[in-house]
């Protein structure tokens, strides 16, 4: 399928959904949190999600564990609020372990120490049901199986164009969905992009973004043998690194990686595998994503074969499942009122509009090769750093907040705050800000920070 330069003019009268106050696009960590937080402030909230279930990378991506919600040294829990409630509720149905019980270097952390103290192991099926319950109990109107394909903008030529809603597509065809405030939690900044918000992708030097990985889970692993092998090879920077290095040198390793990314799950013999790597594919382009999915699936088949024949503990391994879609680490980042930088993270800079505290370090997978990840030669971040509200405000547009992975940050800073607990924290702040904006009839840009802070604290967030 080749796209041509030719344009095709198309216009249509489309049915309109009933209006709501706040429209959340995307039901991943940031979207779930935004929807719950906003609905608890008694505004009418609708969440539109393209899949038939909530969770985003938590579920469709099979991504896990949730990286740390603590300070880098593991001493303070920073991300609480909706995230903590989400974890507690998964624990109550046997679907998660509390991060306070998971030390750095354990099998649940992929045996990684730096930046991996107090991660949250969880089961994707528990995440699906808990996310759904939390949204419905808060009064969120869920619209699943619906993909947003355009933005409705008041006056594109205005200095500050206002987003009035979105156009979405489902089995019934196109629909208009309008709201007083739209929160883009699509991770790719889809609404922002459709509305004409300026966005950037990848690193400054060449625009290349972090690579993609198709997560899969395996079963029938001998947990004890894996633990014993990894612990008896401390010289390996990542699990099985020397076996991978030899195979790579001999042209036998099927992905550009320097070790095996493997995370024990709560079920004996079952591990999540984060080892495939697809380079140089744009995750915000369907054609490129198609190629990435094809490559990711072939890597999975080859990796399984490699595991079986080369890795102690994996002799009888079987495939449990692959993710619904390949994991996309990085696409569009909006140009916001403030751009979070590496310096902010290194210095632990204080912001007067702080909405989240985080401790996860830089985590840049090499866009062109096998290196990267946490630790190594990446610059160190502060034990605790802050994220300001302004990273969620597109610089020239009104009526729109962008939360989760597409916020305004440099390639380096985003590599740290993109993990799931910070996305929950960002989402909670976006949801509250959207609700306050509706209540005050003011644009999100003019939400009073003291009100936002007060509501965040009332909803259990921690701001130091």
Interface residues with ligand FAD (CB under 6 A) are 25-31, 48-51, 56-57, 60-61, 63-67, 147-148, 185-188, 190, 213, 274, 327-329, 404-405, 418-420, 423
Q: How far is the CB of 373 from ligand FAD (least distance, A)?
A: 10
Q: How far is the CB of 315 from ligand FAD (least distance, A)?
A: 26
Nearest residue (CB) to ligand FAD, 170 versus 439: 170
Q: How far is the CB of 167 from ligand FAD (least distance, A)?
A: 10
- Note the maximum CA span of the chain: 66
What one-character-per-residue DSSP string does 333-364 give? EE-BSS-B-HHHHHHT---TTEEEEE-----E
Nearest residue (CB) to ligand FAD, 246 versus 371: 371
Q: How far is the CB of 230 from ligand FAD (least distance, A)?
A: 18
Q: How far is the CB of 366 from ligand FAD (least distance, A)?
A: 13
- Residues sharing a CB contact under 8 Å with residue 322, sequence separation 6 or more, in sequence order: 62, 214, 215, 216, 297, 300
Q: Tell how far CA 191 is from the center of its chain.
A: 16
Q: How far is the CB of 59 from ligand FAD (least distance, A)?
A: 8
| Spatial distance between the Cα atoms of 119 and 114, rounded to a whole number of angstroms | 12
Residue nearest to ligand FAD (CB): 28
Q: Which residue bears the tokens 């391994």?
A: 317
Nearest residue (CB) to ligand FAD, 331 versus 459: 331
Q: How far is the CB of 254 from ligand FAD (least distance, A)?
A: 16
Q: How far is the CB of 340 from ligand FAD (least distance, A)?
A: 15
Nearest residue (CB) to ligand FAD, 50 versus 118: 50
Closest CA to 415 of 455, 360, 458, 370: 360
Nearest residue (CB) to ligand FAD, 158 versus 301: 301
Nearest residue (CB) to ligand FAD, 40 versus 50: 50
Nearest residue (CB) to ligand FAD, 51 versus 307: 51
Neighbours of 266 (CB within 10 A): 15
Q: How far is the CB of 272 from ligand FAD (least distance, A)?
A: 8
Structure tokens at 255: 């992905």
| Helices 420-440, 449-458: crossing angle, 10 deg rounding | 120
Residue 7 DSSP symbol? -
- Within 220-298, strands assigned E span 262-264, 271-273
Q: How far is the CB of 376 from ligand FAD (least distance, A)?
A: 17
Neighbours of 6 (CB within 10 A): 5
- Residues sharing a CB contact under 8 Å with residue 378, sequence separation 6 or more, in sequence order: 361, 362, 363, 364, 372
Q: How far is the CB of 74 from ligand FAD (least distance, A)?
A: 15
Nearest residue (CB) to ligand FAD, 170 versus 312: 170
Nearest residue (CB) to ligand FAD, 338 versus 360: 360
Structure tokens at 250: 């001999």
| Spatial distance between the Cα atoms of 167 and 147, rounded to a whole number of angstroms | 9
> What region, left, alpha or beta, does residue 167 occupy, with left being phi > 0 and alpha being psi -120 to 50 degrees?
beta
Q: Which backbone phi and psi does 194 adopt, to 5 degrees?
A: -65, -30
- ∠ at Cα 194 (47, 139), nearest 5°? 10
| Spatial distance between the Cα atoms of 430 and 406, rounded to a whole number of angstroms | 13
Nearest residue (CB) to ligand FAD, 386 versus 403: 403
Q: Which backbone phi and psi does 447 adopt, to 5 degrees?
A: -65, 135
Neighbours of 165 (CB within 10 A): 24
Nearest residue (CB) to ligand FAD, 252 versus 371: 371
* DSSP run (H or E) holding 322: strand 318-322
């Amino acid at each position: 399928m080749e796209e041509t330069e030719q344009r095709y003019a198309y216009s249509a009268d489309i049915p309109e959904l009933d209006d709501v106050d706040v429209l959340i696009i995307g039901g991943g960590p940031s979207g779930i949190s935004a929807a719950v937080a906003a609905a608890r402030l008694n505004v009418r909230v609708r969440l539109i999600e393209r899949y038939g279930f909530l969770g985003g990378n938590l579920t469709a991506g099979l991504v896990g564990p949730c990286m740390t919600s603590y300070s880098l040294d593991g001493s303070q829990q920073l991300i609480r609020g909706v995230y903590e409630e989400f974890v507690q509720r998964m624990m109550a149905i046997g679907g998660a372990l509390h991060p306070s019980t998971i030390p750095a270097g354990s099998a649940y952390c992929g045996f990684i120490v730096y930046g991996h103290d107090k991660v949250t192991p969880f089961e994707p099926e528990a995440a699906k049901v808990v996310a759904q319950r939390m949204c419905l109990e808060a009064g969120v109107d869920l619209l699943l199986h619906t993909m947003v394909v355009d933005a409705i903008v008041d006056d594109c030529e205005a200095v500050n164009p206002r987003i009035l809603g979105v156009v979405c597509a489902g089995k019934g065809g196109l629909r208009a969905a309008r709201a007083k405030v739209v929160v883009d939690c699509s991770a790719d900044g889809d609404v922002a992009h459709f509305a004409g918000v300026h966005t950037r992708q990848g690193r400054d030097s060449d625009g290349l973004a972090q690579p993609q990985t198709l997560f899969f889970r395996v079963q029938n692993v001998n947990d004890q043998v894996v633990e014993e092998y990894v612990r008896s090879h401390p010289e390996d920077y990542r699990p099985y690194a020397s076996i991978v290095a030899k195979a790579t040198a001999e042209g036998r390793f099927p992905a550009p990686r320097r070790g095996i990314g493997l995370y024990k799950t709560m079920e004996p013999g079952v591990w999540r595998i984060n080892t495939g790597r697809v380079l140089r594919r744009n995750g915000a382009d369907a054609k490129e994503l198609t190629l990435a999915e094809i490559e990711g699936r072939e890597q999975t088949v080859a990796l399984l074969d490699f595991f079986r024949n080369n890795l102690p503990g994996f002799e009888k391994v079987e495939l449990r499942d692959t993710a619904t879609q390949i994991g996309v680490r990085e696409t569009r980042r909006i140009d916001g009122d403030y751009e979070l930088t590496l310096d902010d993270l290194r210095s632990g800079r204080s912001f007067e509009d702080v909405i989240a505290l985080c401790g996860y370090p830089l985590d840049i997978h090499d866009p062109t090769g096998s290196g990267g990840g946490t630790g190594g030669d990446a610059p160190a971040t502060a034990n605790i750093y802050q994220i300001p509200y302004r990273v969620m405000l597109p610089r020239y547009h009104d009526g729109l907040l962008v939360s989760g992975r597409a916020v305004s940050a440099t390639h380096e800073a985003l590599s740290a705050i993109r993990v799931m607990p910070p996305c929950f924290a960002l989402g909670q702040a976006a949801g509250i800000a959207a609700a306050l904006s509706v209540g005050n009839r003011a644009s999100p840009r003019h939400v009073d920070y003291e009100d936002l802070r007060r509501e965040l604290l009332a909803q259990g967030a921690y701001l130091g």
